[in-house]
Amino acid sequence: MTWRFALMIEPAASDDSRTDFSDTFTVVDPAAPALSVGELSTQRGDGIFESIGVVDGHAQEVIPHLERLAHSAGLCDLPAPHRLQWQQAVARAAAECPPGESVIKLILSRGIEHGPAPTAWVTATEAADFRAARTTGIRVVTLDRGLDSGAPDRAPWLLLGAKTLSYAVNMAAIREARRRGADDAIFVSSDGIVLEGPTSSVILRTGDRFATPAPGAGILHGTTQLSLFTRLEELGFETAYDSIPAARLQRVDAAWLVSSVRLAAPIRSIDDRPLAVDASLTADLNDYLLSPRD
């Protein structure tokens, strides 16, 4: 039986000056009904989320996640999340997490249809066991995202930089990757620029240079990628945000998909082309990601 915890949040206005929000939290049974059928999160995927890794009760990089939540809220015309309130909700959920790895999800939904306020909640769940993905690595395929790389600037209503609940395409891409005998996917723009994984960021190594697609291209700015760049710089490597043509994927020396819970998964093949896994560097990166970080 998977361990779970859930907390409903009564969202505070962003100028609420309270310092203790505990009476805006209601612990609920995560398996019991908690949301009504009128919820716009469920009817239209209309809301935003964050997934935060938790290691031995320590929630990792809470502030960068809350900053991204606020960024997503802005793009989606949702009320700004109250930073301190969410921070306290995360702390409350983290305090429930047992030793080992867990994942805390933050969800801010537009609320009940025609209702007065957004709905918000936090869940904590035991993380899946990703040890094999972190060591043996994953096979990926490239998949066309349909959008050209100019779309995000041209059409902000496509919400391309927001982490919305409308993830059906992301999930379909992972199913398509599995149908092709792979584990995961890398999205490529219709004009051939590397974007991101459906639930991860892409990091590519060429010699001692590590590059990731520039977040300006409408992809999510990965919190784990940001953190890993700090670590790579500590190790003396060069890091860069690039516009990366898909053809370069066939020439890199190594590659990873990185995300908050699976952490750094080395890629062992891209579109059936084998890629070497640097076991010791990958272990270093995952050790770093598993150490307490704020």
* Residues 154-193 as x/- pattern, contact with a second copy by CB under 8 A: xxxxxxx-x-xxxxxxxxxx-xx-------------x---
We find the least distance from the C-beta atom of residue 260 to a second copy, in angstroms, to be 15
| Least gap, CB of 162 to a second copy (angstroms) | 8
Site string for a second copy, 3-22 (x = CB under 8 A): -x-x----------------
Amino acid at 24: T
Single residue of 9, 24, 25, 46 touching a second copy by CB under 8 A? 46
Does 257 participate in binding a second copy (rule CB under 8 A)? no
The Cα 223–Cα 35 span in angstroms is 29
> Applying CB under 8 A, which part among 16-24, 36-44, 89-97, 207-215 lies near a second copy?
36-44
Q: How far is the CB of 105 from a second copy (least distance, A)?
A: 7
Reported as type and span, the H/E element at residue 90 is helix 83-96
Please tell me the distance from the alpha carbon of residue 250 to that of residue 244, in angstroms, as a whole number.
12
Toward a second copy, which CB reaches closer, 149 or 282? 149
CB half-sphere exposure, 242, CA atoms < 13 A: 19
Q: Which candidate, 156, 153, 130, places its Cα nearest to that of 53?
A: 130
Owner of token pair 């939540």:
69
Of 34-42, 52-60, 259-267, 285-293, the window that binds a second copy (rule: CB under 8 A) is 34-42
Work out how close the CB of 16 gets to a second copy at its nearest, in angstroms, rounded to a whole number.
Answer: 24
Compute CA 70 distance to the chain's CA centroid, rounded to the nearest angstrom.
14
Whether 222 and 258 have beta carbons less than 8 Å apart is answered as yes
Nearer to a second copy, 124 or 252 (CB): 124
Residues numbered 115-154 forming contacts with a second copy, rule: CB under 8 A = 121, 123, 143-148, 151, 154
Question: Which of positions 49-88 make contact with a second copy (CB under 8 A)?
Answer: 49, 76-77
Q: With respect to a second copy, which residue has the nearer C-beta, 141 or 277?
A: 141
- Using the rule CB under 8 A, is 90 a contact of a second copy? no
Using the rule CB under 8 A, is 41 a contact of a second copy?
A: yes
Position 43 contacts a second copy (CB under 8 A): yes
Would you call 193 exposed, middle or buried from its count of C-beta atoms within 10 A (0-12, 13-18, 19+)?
A: buried
Instruction: Give how many residues touch a second copy by CB under 8 A.
Output: 59
Torsion of CA 150, 154, 156, 162, to 10 degrees: 10
From CA 124, how far away is CA 105, in angstroms rounded? 6
Q: Among 155, 90, 148, 145, which Cα is nearest to 123's?
A: 90
Smallest gap from Cβ 224 to a second copy, in A, equals 19
Q: Which of 82, 143, 140 is nearest to 274 (CA)?
A: 140
Query: Is 176:145 a contact under the CB 8 Å cutoff?
Result: no
H/E stretch holding 254 = strand 254-259
Q: Toward a second copy, which CB reaches closer, 72 or 227? A: 72
Residues that bind a second copy (CB under 8 A): 2, 4, 6, 28, 30-39, 41-47, 49, 76-77, 105, 107, 109-110, 114, 121, 123, 143-148, 151, 154-160, 162, 164-173, 175-176, 190
